Amino acid sequence: MDYRLQRQNINTEPFMTKPPQYNRKSIVMRTDKVYKCEIINIVELTHLEKLFHLKILNRTERRIFKFRPGQFVMLEVPGFGEVPISISSSSNNTEYIELCVRKAGRTTSVLHQAQKGAKLGIRGPFGTSFPMEEMMGSSILLIAGGLGLAPLRAPVYWVTEHRDKYKDVHVLYGAKDPEQMLFTYQYDEWKKVNNINLLTIVEKQGKGWDGRTGLITELFKEVSIKPDNTYAIVCGPPVMFNFVCNYLDGLGIPMNRMFVSLERRMHCGMGKCCRCMIGSTFTCVDGPVFDYWSVLNLKEAI
Amino acid sequence: MIYKVITKNEFKKFINGLIGENQTFGPKQVDRRADGKAVYQFMEVSSFDEMDLNYTVTYSSVKNFFLPFKEELSHFKFSDNDWEQAVEYRVNPRVIVGARPCDINALAILDKILMRGAFPSPYYIARRKNTFLIGMDHEPPEDCFCKSLGHDTVHRGFNLFCEDIGEQYYLTINSSKAFVFLKNVKAGKPTKKDDVKLIERRKLLRESFQARVEVAGLSSVLDIEFKSPVWKKWGDKCLNCGSCAMVCPTCYCYGIEETIDVGMKSSRKERVQYSCNLVDFAQVAGGHNFRPLKEDRLKYRFYHHYRGFAENADDPICVGCNRCGRACLAGINPREVISDLQMEG
Amino acid sequence: MKYLGIDPQKVKIGVFDFTGCEGCELQLANKEESLLEFLSLLEVVNFREISSDSSQDYDIALVEGSISRKDEIERLTDIRARAKVLVAMGACACFGGVNYLKNQYPLKDVVKEVYGMHSVETSKVKRIADVVKVDLNIPGCPVSKSEVESIIVSIVVGAEVKIPKYPVCVECKQNVNTCVVDLGKICLGPITRAGCGAVCPTGKAGCLGCRGPAEDANYGSLREILREKGHCESEIEQKLCFYNAFNGSTEK
């Protein structure tokens, strides 16, 4: 008489022999194992935002970690938690990635104290990306508000690395006040070296600011847009991109040529926990990059 | 699929055999409510007689055997300048006896989400693979509406399924493990007579459903009625206590929590069962809440349940067991909310 | 924490008791298996339950009990002035606690009932926050030691403190309990902040709300449910008043 059940172990195959196909059905089972990385540099951007340069320590893991502009990683601060952060660096940089992190909650408040040499974990990359190849041959309008410049920096890098493939490139950036502007040290390079038409504006006048003041839509007066040959990427707070996308829609840019990157609370990044749902759409798997038509079809308010 | 019949006496021997060798869970009466109704739960049992296989329905579902309310995803060990992460999926085998068709169908829905999506969950797969599941048919309680959702019968997702044909159980054998274990007892081939009894039994059960929910076109009704006042009406009653999601056999939304030990030498990352009804479900770091109102959160749960997401888009994930309706102190139940919506529209 | 390049400094901590049973303090001293590790994060400079040292130099003050005498006000004001972070610990400190029941009666009668011929100086019971600014509330009767520990760890490393916002029902259902209301009792679980592991309902006793209100609690709905189940208004009121945790927040 035998009634004993034998234990069935799963996933005994070694991890990381092949790139995990995070956006298709994954053959890699260990979805919760992080890539260990080291902070190799910290740039203090504002009093709330820091830019972390992270290098994946294992060579094989570093080699197989590939992402596209617009994608994000789950950043693990061991002991404290995991947060979704969009990648701010060039997808060509195979040495390290750059993550711009605002101090906003428990995990990020600890992360902001971390020093160079600290070891963190990342999982990913996750989510959809901007269709950079599709945009080749056209003009591009990159519009960011506030922290929105962080996810926009990856497509900006892409454009600068393939500058000859695109016609006019405009970057319109608005912030609350001059102290909150991100990546100010790169503006000159973008303008002078990369031939990008960068226009900035702040809502509140601040010390030493002699630029424009007002809402981001003010900047549209200074650019000429050919709607039939322009793509737009918009990142920023919901109020802003509703306003901006409406305006661009009015100009006649087709909805499927406008892209936005949405933000939600994510816990898993894998379309399981449902924390980031907007209506019946997963921000982590179906997004974070959506075209404007998909955004209009979302059931809940963005 | 292989079919057999077994006398109830032999069946008892069979179950006691399984209990003797494996950790086993079955339905037990745990309480009696103030209104006189018995309360059942799946509990660990040490003999066949401890179980009440004629139970109506368990208060909680079997879901938490596969998606525990708290489950370690990984843990970190900290050394001086470094840390190591360990991920394990060890699950000891166990037996569950007496799951109802709707319970098993609920697992089949979870299978779709957690085993087949873009990121199959190794934790869930480990638990599913290591559970020997024995299902049983039953006469539906009066508030059960699983028939409306097509979940009153079950064809997959179990190892063994038993249908009561009087003196005997008509067995559906769906795994080699079950087939081998059954060699320990006397189980014969069904006769023509047994087949007839089975068909009669199924007919009887089918006809004994009293509750009904109209689900045709519900997915688009939910879209169209997104701003219906019905949500406010029910939302005002909602306690946002998450009880519905905890007892539901398919609610799987979760959160991830990390706890560092006091000595700061290690930490645990856990998946924690959550509910979209809880106040901070959609709150982001910094404080903004994407669903600030009770009605938003209640609506969202219905939206998920009857519209379905991703892997089961446009397919309800509700199986119609009405556990949420029974657990809700405020009396919020799918039948009334949906009929309100359908009338409204 | 060296893996993050953070080297947390030992913080100086003082634990002080006012009107209360000192049960919360005892909780801290109780859990032996983690006591040593807990103490390794801290330099306890003033904690009557575990040490006879008493220094007035501390960063964090954990304050237990409510305020019911004039001299307590002076002592508390002094503690506030010295502490960088003042934590109200336990239901008495956060809400007034069981002591607050006294405020329902004339002070004269209370003194006579309790002390008889040996009358003492006493005043109406106050919450800590009624007297000084409170930086953080850790509710519960008694507090959960593991919650206090995790909060202290958070303070030490400068992480934002996390405390559940949802009600006790979540934890109660996770313990696979039968609902106490279904058993015919009054339970404040649906409006009370979780974090206690639903100990009372697990023991088949209705929750009395020692952890105070959950966020966005639906008082009206719970009152209606309890009334429908046949509980009278005064009975419900009595439970809500037990710890004074819902004072002023429960509309009828």
CATH number at residue C115: 3.40.50.700
Same domain, B327 and B247: yes
CATH for A35-126 is 2.40.30.10
Q: Which residues in A lie closer than 8 A to residue C6 (C-beta atoms)?
A: 110, 113-115, 118
Same domain, C126 and C209: no
Other beta carbons less than 10 A from residue B223's beta carbon = 14
Same domain, C180 and C79: no
Is there a common fold for A35-126 and A139-296? no
The 10s digit of each residue's pLDDT in C30-78 is: 877 778 788 888 888 877 766 666 777 888 999 999 999 999 999 999 9
Element at A248 (helix H, strand E)? helix A238-251
Distance between B194 CA and the closest CA of chain A, angstroms: 27
Q: Which residues in A lie closer than 8 A to residue C154 (C-beta atoms)?
A: 106
Can you tell me the distance from the alpha carbon of B179 to that of B30, in angstroms, rounded to the nearest whole number? 32
Residue where a domain stops, chosen among C109, C129, C157: C157
Can you tell me the distance from the alpha carbon of B116 to that of B311, in angstroms, rounded to the nearest whole number? 8
Residues 6+ apart with CB under 8 A from B89: A9, A10, A11, B122, B123, B125, B126
Residue type at B187? A
The predicted pLDDT at position C251 comes to 47
The 10s digit of each residue's pLDDT in C72-102 is: 999 999 999 999 999 999 999 999 999 999 8
Q: Is residue C58 assigned to a domain?
A: yes
Same domain, C141 and C197: no
Alpha-carbon Rg for chain C in angstroms: 19
Whole-number Cα distances in Å, B126 to A213, B97, B273, B344: 58, 19, 18, 44
Q: Is residue C162 assigned to a domain?
A: no
Residues of chain B with pLDDT under 50: 345
- Reply yes or no: is the peptide bond before residue A288 cis, omega within 30 of 0: yes
Residue type at A126? F
Q: Is residue C164 assigned to a domain?
A: no
Q: Which residues in B lie closer than 8 A to residue A238 (C-beta atoms)?
A: none
Q: Which residues of chain C approach chain A closer than 8 Å at the C-beta?
A: 1, 3-6, 154, 157-162
Local structure of A161: helix, strand or coil: helix
The predicted pLDDT at position B214 comes to 85
Query: DSSP letter at B39?
Result: E
Same domain, C147 and C176: no
The predicted pLDDT at position A14 comes to 45
Cβ-defined contact of B262 to C38 (cutoff 8 Å): yes
Class of domain A139-296: alpha beta
Residues 6+ apart with CB under 8 A from A236: A143, A144, A145, A146, A147, A148, A174, A216, A244
Burial class, C57, CB count within 10 angstroms (exposed 0-12 / middle 13-18 / buried 19+): exposed
Q: How many domains does chain B have?
A: 2
Residue where a domain stops, chosen among B155, B177, B207: B207
Alpha-carbon Rg for chain A in angstroms: 20
Q: Which residues in C lie closer than 8 A to residue A57 (C-beta atoms)?
A: none
Asked if B281 and B253 touch (Cβ cutoff 8 Å), the reply is yes
Same domain, B193 and B229: no
The predicted pLDDT at position A280 comes to 80
Full residue range of the structural domain in which residue B236 is found: 218-344
Residue percentage of chain B with pLDDT more than 90: 72
The predicted pLDDT at position C252 comes to 43
Can you tell me the distance from the alpha carbon of B261 to that of A154, in angstroms, rounded to the nearest whole number? 37
- Reply yes or no: is the peptide bond before residue A237 cis, omega within 30 of 0: no
Asked if A174 and A145 touch (Cβ cutoff 8 Å), the reply is yes
Distance between C149 CA and the closest CA of chain A, angstroms: 14
Cβ-defined contact of A273 to B92 (cutoff 8 Å): no
Can you tell me the distance from the alpha carbon of A17 to that of A19, in angstroms, rounded to the nearest whole number? 7
Q: Which residues of chain A approach chain C closer than 8 Å at the C-beta?
A: 39, 77-80, 105-107, 109-110, 113-120
Residue percentage of chain C with pLDDT more than 70: 96
Binned at pLDDT 50, 70 and 90, residue A34 comes out as: very high
Same domain, B26 and B111: yes
Phi, psi of B161 (to 5 degrees): -125, 135
The 10s digit of each residue's pLDDT in A225-240 is: 899 999 999 998 888 8
Can you tell me the distance from the alpha carbon of A144 to that of A163, in angstroms, rounded to the nearest whole number? 20
Which stretches of A83-201 are DSSP H helices?
106-111, 149-161, 187-188
Residue where a domain stops, chosen among B207, B235, B253: B207
Q: Is residue C249 assigned to a domain?
A: no
Which residue is it, tokens 């203090």? A44
Q: Which residue would you say has higher pLDDT here, A48 or A299?
A: A48
Q: Of the candidates A34, A265, A280, which has its C-beta nearest B284's C-beta?
A: A265
Asked if B76 and B270 touch (Cβ cutoff 8 Å), the reply is no
**Going edge to edge, which strands form the sheet with A258-261?**
A212-213, A197-202, A169-175, A139-145, A230-235, A258-261, A289-291
The answer to whether C30 contacts chain B (CB < 8 Å) is no
pTM here? 0.91
Element at C86 (helix H, strand E)? strand C85-89
Same domain, B168 and B298: no
Residues 6+ apart with CB under 8 A from C100: C66, C125, C241, C243, C244, C247
The answer to whether C131 contacts chain B (CB < 8 Å) is no
The 10s digit of each residue's pLDDT in A65-102 is: 999 999 999 999 999 999 999 999 999 999 999 999 99
The answer to whether B177 contacts chain A (CB < 8 Å) is yes
Question: Domain residues of chain A, as ranges?
Answer: 35-126, 139-296
Distance between A209 CA and the closest CA of chain C, angstroms: 34
Full residue range of the structural domain in which residue C134 is found: 2-157
Same domain, C153 and C175: no
Q: Which residues in B lie closer than 8 A to residue C30 (C-beta atoms)?
A: none
Same domain, B13 and B148: yes
Q: How many domains does chain C have?
A: 2
Q: Is residue C251 assigned to a domain?
A: no
Asked if B18 and B181 touch (Cβ cutoff 8 Å), the reply is yes
Binned at pLDDT 50, 70 and 90, residue A24 comes out as: low
Can you tell me the distance from the alpha carbon of B120 to that of B113, in angstroms, rounded to the nearest whole number? 8
Per-residue pLDDT of chain C (252 residues; tens, 9 = 90+): 788 988 888 888 899 999 999 999 888 888 777 787 888 888 888 777 666 667 778 889 999 999 999 999 999 999 999 999 999 999 999 999 999 998 988 988 888 888 888 888 888 999 999 999 999 999 999 999 889 988 988 888 888 888 999 999 999 999 999 999 999 999 999 999 999 999 999 999 999 999 999 999 999 999 999 999 999 999 999 999 999 999 765 544
The answer to whether C170 contacts chain B (CB < 8 Å) is yes
